């Protein structure tokens, strides 16, 4: 029977290879974009050592849909942080972030205009449209957008706002939970929502709560695509 070689610890490595691992960990934790061209990420053995370093901090190595790697909280750590209400966004910030994710990524993806599983890729949402779709005062939205931008949860372009680089740090399970939540928010009566509810009722949803940065509920969004369509029908 073949056994995988044990993962080396930092103290088992030569100074050069130890520095390569630490350089990769630093890049993973600080870069706004996925990284790949580091010796410790290209070498499978050293990459396991990188993962070991991240594990000690409750973090995991995440393979980006765009190629390369980033890092994020392990699902069980995220769930524990949510239970302790550590790092959970205020309700108003969750509401605005939910609208950004809904109209920039989830709705275009459901309609076939955006492809892939990357939550940082989508269609820019003009800020004025965002304000009109929110139940918050327009001045409040401006302040919330500044806060979300500082947290790197959104980014600004000349055409509007998009999800920020922190959304690239979702684990695959967290990304699926986020999609499920947005389906329930945007189209609660749809066939897809029925599938999501069935999955949840059977306990098939992976993990518990969503990560602190994106834990959402219908009551905090103040809007949905169904509400938007209803408004358009009345005009």
- pLDDT tier, 8 (very low <50, low <70, confident <90, very high otherwise): low
Average pLDDT over residues 77-100: 94
Lowest mean pLDDT among 2-6, 73-77, 141-145, 187-191: 2-6
What does the mean pLDDT of the chain come to? 84
Q: Which residues on neighbouring strands pair with residue 216, listed in sequence order?
A: none
pTM confidence score: 0.78
- Residue partners of 159: CB distance under 8 A and separation at least 6: 124, 126
On the question of pLDDT at 127 being above 90, the answer is yes
On the question of pLDDT at 5 being above 80, the answer is no
Provide the pLDDT for residue 219: 29
- pLDDT tier, 115 (very low <50, low <70, confident <90, very high otherwise): confident
Kind of pairing, strands 160-163 and 59-63? unpaired
- Residue partners of 27: CB distance under 8 A and separation at least 6: 35, 38
Q: What is the pLDDT of residues 158-209, one digit of tens each?
A: 999 999 999 999 999 999 989 888 888 878 888 888 888 888 887 654 444 4
Provide the pLDDT for residue 116: 82
Domains 10-73 and 91-234 share a fold: yes
| CATH tag, 91-234 | 1.10.10
On the question of pLDDT at 213 being above 90, the answer is no
Most confident of 4-18, 101-115, 161-175, 215-229: 161-175
- Residue partners of 126: CB distance under 8 A and separation at least 6: 159, 160
- Residue partners of 145: CB distance under 8 A and separation at least 6: 96, 127, 130, 154, 161
Q: Are 206 and 177 in contact (CB under 8 A)?
A: yes
Helix 172-186 with 91-101: angle, nearest 10 deg: 90
Lowest mean pLDDT among 35-44, 75-84, 113-122, 217-226: 217-226
List of long-range contacts for 203-208, beta carbons under 8 Å, 24+ apart: 205/176, 205/177, 205/180, 206/75, 206/173, 206/176, 206/177, 207/75, 207/76, 207/78, 207/79, 207/173, 207/174, 207/177, 208/75, 208/79, 208/82
Provide the pLDDT for residue 221: 32
The ranges assigned to domains in the chain are 10-73, 91-234
Q: Which residues on neighbouring strands pair with residue 59, listed in sequence order?
A: 73
CA dihedral 13, 14, 17, 23 (to 10 degrees): 90
- Report which DSSP code applies to 157: E
* Total Cβ atoms within 10 A of residue 4: 6
> Residues for the chain: how many in total?
235
On the question of pLDDT at 220 being above 60, the answer is no
CA distances from 115 to 51, 99, 180 (A): 29, 19, 17
- 10-73 carries CATH number 1.10.540: no
């Amino acid at each position: 029977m073949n056994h995988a070689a044990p993962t080396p610890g930092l103290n088992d490595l030569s100074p050069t290879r130890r520095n390569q691992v630490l350089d990769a960990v630093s890049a993973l934790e600080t870069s706004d974009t996925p990284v790949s061209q580091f010796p410790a990420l290209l070498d499978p053995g050293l990459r396991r050592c990188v993962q070991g370093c991240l594990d000690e901090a409750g973090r995991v190595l995440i393979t980006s849909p765009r190629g390369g790697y980033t890092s994020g909280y392990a699902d069980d750590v995220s769930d524990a942080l949510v239970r302790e209400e550590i790092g959970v966004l205020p309700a108003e910030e969750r509401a605005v972030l939910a609208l950004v994710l809904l109209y920039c990524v989830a709705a275009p993806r459901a309609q076939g205009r955006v492809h892939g599983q990357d939550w940082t890729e989508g269609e820019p949402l003009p800020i004025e449209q965002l304000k009109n779709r929110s139940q918050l005062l327009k001045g409040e939205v401006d302040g919330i957008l500044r806060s979300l931008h500082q947290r790197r949860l959104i980014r600004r372009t000349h055409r509007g706002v998009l999800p920020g680089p922190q959304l690239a740090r979702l684990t695959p399970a967290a990304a699926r939970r986020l999609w499920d939540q947005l389906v329930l928010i945007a189209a609660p009566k749809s066939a897809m929502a029925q599938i999501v509810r069935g999955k949840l009722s059977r306990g098939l949803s992976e993990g518990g709560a969503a990560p602190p940065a994106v834990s959402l509920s219908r009551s905090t969004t103040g809007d949905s695509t169904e509400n938007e369509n209803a408004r358009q029908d009345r005009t």
